[in-house]
């Protein structure tokens, strides 16, 4: 995605089981199978609920017991009981919160190791947000979840460990560098952070 | 850019209210000391009545912290400050209660023969209790962990004075027995005020370091 931003540059490595994800030899399809993604705005395919979930497994050739795989993914995403009789309906007819859980189920269907969630609840009402957060608590036993959130209370509620990222702007304004300010257990970040910039941010003293 | 300005003003206001409350407590300690040393029953009644003001202030601060926690969900340093204010507020309220108890004991002992040596000792204990309260509140205000820890040494002095009281009451014997027993309780109240001041010092330490800890173990 960064490649689409003019002037964006990435230095360093992102290691996944020792493999640099930015290396030229990496197969993007394999990366996407192991690292699922859920975005800010629910983005189901304009297909049936069933086909949304089955899409990934079909592409990857995981065709054995597809019905079972779809059901397991929907159960894991706490959606099965609500839509079990409507699997052939168009996914776009679901509510926003249901659509987002469908997207989580879609990510789970290919059994990844890691799920990246980019502001997964920011477009949802408070009750749907709570359901997503409850779901994260259930899923974290089986998956590594990385969530990006601008809602600090959400980070405090759902995360075991929290990283605070900020931006450093060069004096002449020519460059803006993203930086990792602090990374620690969540309880430490929200009671007694080590870095003054984290303290200032979480207490709202700068924004 | 400073954000959440009204929230931080509210928090600062609560801390200010706590400091004002401590001024009330200091007046109460002085009144309690004066009434017991002078065996002044009228002053004792004033000290007892005055405690309602301290309790009112305590309730206001408690409600303020409650509202702040409910509406602003403070974190990090703000959270520690809100909790320190909450706990220190309770310690101040307890100090006020100790003063009330001293005043009530003064009334109960008013018609009994006193002992000047013990009364002189109470003046000293009262002054120490005031001093410790001032040091505790200053340490909180200045975020001064070292000053807070200095309360341990001050507490040692008030503890020693308290221990001497029982010996003196035993020396007095039968003629002053009832008066002496009541004065052992007075002494205990001064000693407890000192303990409450140390507790506030521990809140300062928590506020500064983020670690909950008692300055001394239970054997002290």
Sequence ranges of the domains in chain B: 5-209
Per-residue confidence (pLDDT) for residue A60, from 0 to 100: 87
d(CA A31, CA A19): 11
Residue A142 DSSP label: T
Of A9, A14, A60, A28, the residue nearest A175 (C-alpha): A9
Name the pLDDT band for A123 (thresholds 50, 70, 90): confident
How many beta carbons lie within 10 A of that of residue A51, not counting itself? 17
Q: Are A97 and A58 in contact (CB under 8 A)?
A: no
CA B23 to chain centre: 11
Q: Are B175 and B113 in contact (CB under 8 A)?
A: yes
d(CA B79, CA B7): 12
Residues on chain B bordering chain A, Cβ-to-Cβ distance under 8 angstroms: 1-4, 7-8, 73-80, 209-210
Q: Give the residue on A whose Cα is nearest the Cα of B74.
A: A203
Give per-residue pLDDT as tens, B100-124.
Answer: 999 999 999 999 999 999 999 999 9
Nearest Cβ partner for B4 among A189, A190, A204: A204
Question: Which residues of B are less than 8 Å from A162 in CB distance?
Answer: none
Give per-residue pLDDT as tens, A157-171.
Answer: 999 999 999 998 888
Q: Are A40 and A123 in contact (CB under 8 A)?
A: yes
Nearest Cβ partner for B76 among A153, A191, A206: A191
Q: Are A145 and A117 in contact (CB under 8 A)?
A: yes
d(CA B23, CA B30): 11
Name the pLDDT band for B2 (thresholds 50, 70, 90): low
Name the pLDDT band for A207 (thresholds 50, 70, 90): low
Nearest Cβ partner for B76 among A153, A192, A206: A192
d(CA A134, CA B11): 32
Alpha-carbon gap: B115 to the closest alpha carbon of chain A (Å): 52
Does B1 sit within 8 Å of A203, measured CB to CB?
Answer: no
Q: Give the residue on A whose Cα is nearest the Cα of B81.
A: A191
Give per-residue pLDDT as tens, B84-96.
Answer: 999 999 999 999 9
The residue ranking higher by pLDDT, A175 or A109, is A109
Does A204 sit within 8 Å of B76, measured CB to CB?
Answer: no
Per-residue confidence (pLDDT) for residue A1, from 0 to 100: 67
d(CA A202, CA B210): 15
Does A198 sit within 8 Å of B2, measured CB to CB?
Answer: no
Average pLDDT, chain A: 91
Question: Which residues of A are less than 8 Å from B77 in CB distance?
Answer: 199, 203
Does B79 sit within 8 Å of A190, measured CB to CB?
Answer: yes
Give the start-to-end residue ranges of the domains of chain A.
28-153, 160-207
Beta bridge partners of A36: A115
For every residue of B51-91, DSSP letters joined together read: HHHHHHHHHHHHHHHHHHHHHH---HHHHHHHHHHHHHHHH
Complex prediction ipTM: 0.72
| Angle, CA B132 vertex, CA B131 and CA B135 arms, to 5° | 85
Give per-residue pLDDT as tens, A80-95.
Answer: 999 999 999 999 999 9
pLDDT at B194 over 70: yes
d(CA B204, CA B78): 13
Give per-residue pLDDT as tens, A131-167.
Answer: 899 999 999 999 999 999 988 899 999 999 999 999 9
pLDDT at B1 over 70: no
The CATH superfamily assigned to A28-153 is P-loop containing nucleotide triphosphate hydrolases (3.40.50.300)
Question: Which residues of A are less than 8 Å from B1 in CB distance?
Answer: 206-207
Q: Are A207 and B3 in contact (CB under 8 A)?
A: yes
B5-209: CATH topology: Methane Monooxygenase Hydroxylase; Chain G, domain 1 (1.20.58)
Coil, strand or helix at A39: coil
d(CA B190, CA B125): 6
pLDDT at B154 over 60: yes
Of A104, A118, A48, A100, the residue nearest A75 (C-alpha): A104
pTM of this structure: 0.83
Q: Give the residue on B whose Cα is nearest the Cα of A202.
A: B75
Question: Which residues of B are less than 8 Å from A191 in CB distance?
Answer: 75-76, 79-80, 210
d(CA A134, CA B86): 31
Of A101, A193, A194, the residue nearest A152 (C-alpha): A193
């Amino acid at each position: 995605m960064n490649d689409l931003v003019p002037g964006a540059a990435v230095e360093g490595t992102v290691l996944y089981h020792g493999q640099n994800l930015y290396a030229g030899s990496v197969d993007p399809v394999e990366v996407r199978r192991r690292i699922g993604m859920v975005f800010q705005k629910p983005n189901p395919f304009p297909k049936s609920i069933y086909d949304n979930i089955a899409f990934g497994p079909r592409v990857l050739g995981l065709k054995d017991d597809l019905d079972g795989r779809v059901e397991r993914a929907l159960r894991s995403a706490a959606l099965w009981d609500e839509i079990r009789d409507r699997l052939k309906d168009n996914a776009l007819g679901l509510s926003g919160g249901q659509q987002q859980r469908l997207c989580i189920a879609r990510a789970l269907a290919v059994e990844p190791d890691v799920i990246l969630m980019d502001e997964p609840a920011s477009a949802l009402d408070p009750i749907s947000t709570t359901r997503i957060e409850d779901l994260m608590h259930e899923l974290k036993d089986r998956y590594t979840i990385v969530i990006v959130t601008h809602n600090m209370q959400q980070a405090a509620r759902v995360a075991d460990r929290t990283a605070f990222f900020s931006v450093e702007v060069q004096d002449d304004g020519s460059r803006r560098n993203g930086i990792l300010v602090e990374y620690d257990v969540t309880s430490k970040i929200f009671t007694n952070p080590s870095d003054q910039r984290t303290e200032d941010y979480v207490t709202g003293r700068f924004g | 850019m400073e954000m959440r300005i009204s929230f931080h003003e509210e928090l600062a206001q609560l801390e200010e209210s706590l400091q004002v409350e401590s001024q009330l407590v200091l007046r109460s300690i002085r009144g309690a000391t004066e009434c017991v040393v002078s065996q002044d029953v009228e002053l004792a009644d004033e000290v007892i009545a005055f405690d309602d003001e301290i309790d009112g202030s305590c309730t206001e601060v408690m409600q303020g912290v409650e509202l702040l926690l409910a509406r602003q969900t403070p974190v990090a340093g703000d959270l520690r400050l809100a909790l320190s204010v909450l706990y220190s507020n309770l310690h101040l309220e307890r100090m006020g209660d100790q003063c009330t108890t001293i005043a009530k004991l003064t009334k109960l002992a008013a018609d009994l023969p006193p002992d000047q040596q013990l009364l002189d000792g109470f003046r000293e204990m009262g002054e120490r209790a005031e001093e410790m309260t001032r040091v505790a509140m200053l340490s909180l205000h200045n975020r001064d962990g070292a000053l807070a820890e200095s309360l341990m040494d001050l507490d040692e002095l008030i503890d020693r004075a308290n221990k001497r009281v029982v010996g003196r009451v035993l020396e007095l014997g039968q003629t002053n027995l009832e008066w002496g027993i009541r004065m052992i309780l007075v002494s205990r109240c001064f000693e407890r005020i000192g303990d409450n001041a140390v507790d506030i010092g521990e809140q300062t330490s928590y506020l500064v370091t983020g670690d909950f800890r008692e300055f001394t173990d239970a054997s002290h």
